[in-house]
Chains A and B, each alone.
Chain A
Amino acid sequence: MIETRQLRRTFKSRRGNVEAVAGVDMCVEAGEIFGFLGPNGAGKTTTLRLLATLLPPTGGEATVAGFDLRREPEKVRRRIGYVSQAGGTDPAISGRRELVFQARLYGIDPAEARKRADYLLDLLELSAAADRPVGSYSGGQKQRLHIAMGLIHRPSLLFLDEPTTGLDPQARARIWDEVKRLQDNGTTVFLTTHYLEEADALCDRLAIIDHGRIVAEGTPDELKRQIAGDLVTIGLHGDGQEAVRLLQGEPYIREADFAEGQLRLRVDHGERSMPAILRVLDGAGLELQSLSLTRPSLDDVFLRQTGRSLREEAA
């Protein structure tokens, strides 16, 4: 659905050129929810704007929804929907009128435009608010309307730029449901986010972007595994160093150390290696006091790849 090769965008500024997107290679399959994760200023929105034909690339190639981005932007536009952070509705106009007008911009005739607007208003539970000016909508209603606007021409690919930023948890969960429903209907979704929970809960695959470059790509699980594996922490009575020595020989152990009565083990698959770990410790006559398994979070992945924590960024 999306394929880019060394996609670039340089902005000229007074202090020289800024490479906002510095050679991005990626591939998004049809039917995926693909997440673009990165701190503010990492190049997320610029990449999105390149792919949505809003900005011409200064280098590289891309195919979006089956057409070359640089040679046939018109054809790309007919097949994609794009929901920007600003949303793009006029606060003085009603949701219904905005939807109908959006359909008309795609050349859909007035009767069909009204039919599609009704359908989407109903689907996204906006019918009651449909004839009020958008300026009176709640954050969640507004965002659902913006998604409806992006869908009015039935695109095969929908871009969402930080779709849940600024929404309360309930409204956010609601948007997640809608995005999953899109996927069920066969729409490919490309979204940017700086919420790790969102990337984790929603996305089939992710790319982490920093300083205009993709620093990691994969499913959330793959990314987490790449990092460090799961962490098994065991409270131990007795000779911890002996336990470390025994376990280091086991194939499933990546790292092992012992300090202050705590044995810390990095393993590939926590739940599968735990029984084996227990057998080894048992065999050596070591007594267990506590046991816990922690999976790496996407924040660990992010920290490792960018040297920064997203949580700190958000705070």
Chain B
Amino acid sequence: MKLASDTWLVFQRYFGLLMHNPAWIAAEVVQPVLYLLLFAPLLKSIASMPGFPPGGAYNVFVPGLLIQLGLFGSAGVGFALIAEVRNGVLERFRVTPVSRTALLLGRAARDIVNMLIQSTLLILLSLPFGLSINILGVLLVYALVALIGLVFASISYAVALALRGEDAYAQVVFTAALPLLLLSGVLLPLSFAPGWLRALAAANPLSYAVDAARAIFNNRLGETSVVEGVAIMAVLAVLATVLAARSFGRAVA
């Protein structure tokens, strides 16, 4: 099937570019370590406060971090695309019969693989600190991270193609990502939040993903919050990829 083989081809190109970049490999390892060393210790004391969700500090904190990884891992992906628009690389691809949707999916697949590598590192590094999760839970969380990656990477690419300038892109993407992050309960559980803040968070699709991830890490795989979180992200993923694939197909001056 052409879409699949084109996606694989595009994926290989961008994954290869990543692997040739030593700075990337360093950042890939350092980032999860930083979170665990510099932020997780704060949680130890908070975890004993009333209102903190059950399951222990790491089983609450790590799922949130994974969702954050999905969001922030996607926010920066548009920069490279803007450079490619400028170099004429995207235009060169668009003159060939390659599937336009594959131009998006191949890149997004690279971004998702990138996130899953970091997720794996994060989970492995947290195990000695008391994180507990079974393999089914890991796979479910991976699926969730992959969907989040697909949603936000697609949106980032669409924004990059619409704006075509690094400065404007950075402002739009990071300004949009901040409230999404703050209103998701990633950093601290929303069970601490006042009513109005919780109401706002209910409008943030990412907060459902965080709830789902926490339920998974609490070994409550069958809970409705898991189904809800995955379903919401799946619907958004379809919408975002359709939107972004269309911008890849449209003209880029």
A interface residues with partner B (beta carbon < 8 Å): 49, 52-56, 74, 77-78, 80-82, 84-93, 101-102, 104-107, 149, 153
B88 & A84 in contact (Cβ 8 Å cutoff): yes
B86 & A104 in contact (Cβ 8 Å cutoff): no
CB-defined contacts of B9 to chain A, threshold 8 Å: 101, 104-105
Write the chain A residue with the least CB distance to B94: A54
Write the chain B residue with the least CB distance to A77: B97
B96 & A77 in contact (Cβ 8 Å cutoff): yes
Q: Mark B86-99, 1 if CB is under 8 A from A, else 0.
A: 11110111111110
Main secondary structure of the interface of A (DSSP, over half): loop
B17 & A93 in contact (Cβ 8 Å cutoff): yes
Query: Can you list 30 A-B pairs with a CB-CB distance of less than 8 A?
Result: A53-B95, A54-B94, A54-B95, A54-B251, A55-B251, A77-B95, A77-B96, A80-B95, A82-B95, A84-B92, A85-B88, A86-B88, A87-B87, A87-B88, A88-B87, A88-B89, A88-B93, A89-B87, A89-B92, A90-B87, A90-B89, A92-B20, A93-B17, A101-B13, A105-B6, A105-B9, A105-B98, A107-B97, A149-B92, A153-B96
CB-defined contacts of A93 to chain B, threshold 8 Å: 17
Q: Is B166 an interface residue (CB 8 A)?
A: no
A86 & B86 in contact (Cβ 8 Å cutoff): yes
B87 & A102 in contact (Cβ 8 Å cutoff): no
Please provide the 3 A-B residue pairs with the shortest distance between their CB atoms, ordered closest to farther: A86-B88, A88-B92, A88-B88
Alpha-carbon separation in the docked complex, A49 to B13 (Å): 25
CB-defined contacts of B13 to chain A, threshold 8 Å: 101
Q: Is B84 an interface residue (CB 8 A)?
A: yes
Which residues of chain B in 69-118 are interfacial with respect to chain A, using CB atoms and an 8 Å cutoff?
A: 84, 86-89, 91-98
B91 contact from A54, A90, A101, A105, Cβ within 8 A: A54
Alpha-carbon separation in the docked complex, A87 to B84 (Å): 11
What total count of A-B pairs have CB within 8 Å?
Answer: 63
Write the chain A residue with the least CB distance to B96: A105
Q: How far is the CB of A9 from chain B (nearest CB, A)?
A: 10
Write the chain B residue with the least CB distance to A9: B251
Q: How far is the CB of B100 from chain A (nearest CB, A)?
A: 11
Q: How far is the CB of A24 from chain B (nearest CB, A)?
A: 18
CB-defined contacts of A53 to chain B, threshold 8 Å: 95
CB-defined contacts of B6 to chain A, threshold 8 Å: 105
CB-defined contacts of A89 to chain B, threshold 8 Å: 87, 89, 92
CB-defined contacts of B88 to chain A, threshold 8 Å: 84-88
CB-defined contacts of A149 to chain B, threshold 8 Å: 92
With A84-B92, A101-B13, A149-B92 known to touch, is A91 a contact of B87 (CB < 8 Å)?
yes
CB-defined contacts of B96 to chain A, threshold 8 Å: 77, 102, 105-106, 153
CB-defined contacts of A78 to chain B, threshold 8 Å: 97
Q: How far is the CB of A126 from chain B (nearest CB, A)?
A: 17
Alpha-carbon separation in the docked complex, A57 to B154 (Å): 27
Using A77-B96, A107-B97 as known contacts, list a sample of 4 further A-B pairs with CB atoms less than 8 Å apart, ordered by residue number in A.
Answer: A54-B91, A77-B95, A84-B91, A102-B96
Alpha-carbon separation in the docked complex, A91 to B94 (Å): 19
CB-defined contacts of A91 to chain B, threshold 8 Å: 87
The listed residue with most A CB atoms (<10 A of its CB), out of B20, B88, B98, B251, is B88
Alpha-carbon separation in the docked complex, A78 to B17 (Å): 27
Write the chain A residue with the least CB distance to B90: A88
B97 & A74 in contact (Cβ 8 Å cutoff): yes
With A54-B251, A74-B97, A77-B97 known to touch, is A86 a contact of B91 (CB < 8 Å)?
yes
